[in-house]
Amino acid sequence: MAARVRAVLARATRARWASKRVDRAAVTAYVALGANLGDAQATLRWALAAIGRLEGCQLSASSSLYRTAPVDSSGPDYLNAVAAVQTTCTAPGLLALLQQLEQQAGRERPYRNAPRTLDLDILLYGDAQVHSAQLTIPHPRMGQRAFVLVPLAEIALDQVPAEQLQAVAAQACQRL
């Protein structure tokens, strides 16, 4: 029973964060998507559509899907993509909404970097820099991962320095 109460309180807290928006122009945020459990391709396609239906969000672009080997993780290969989202949500509010989608997809977090049904990470949020216990923007490891940089470059080449792409060129990242 206590676990159920904690879960309800956590959802309520996320909903409050998501609703804390100010009247302002939309910000372009880039979101990385990944999955390596279940029907990963169907899950990523569902997640892209679901992101576009989030309150305060409009999907403006999405990359192709890419197959990559796990990095600092285990399990089957991952499928990855990146989405561009126009949002009026705050960065923490967007994070809360994305975490709700992860939960809907059955995401569990038994240990760090565990295989997952769905992983959604905010890579960039306009030109903002965020450093909190819950969120770091720009994503701290995005420049080290081909599975992030290659799909991001596909939809927003201006967001990816050529040196970063060159640095991850040896990492296998197969476009589907």
Catalytic residues: 107, 116, 119, 121
Beta-bridge partner residues of 27: 87
- Side chain identity at residue 55, one-letter code: E
Contact 126, 27 (CB under 8 A): yes
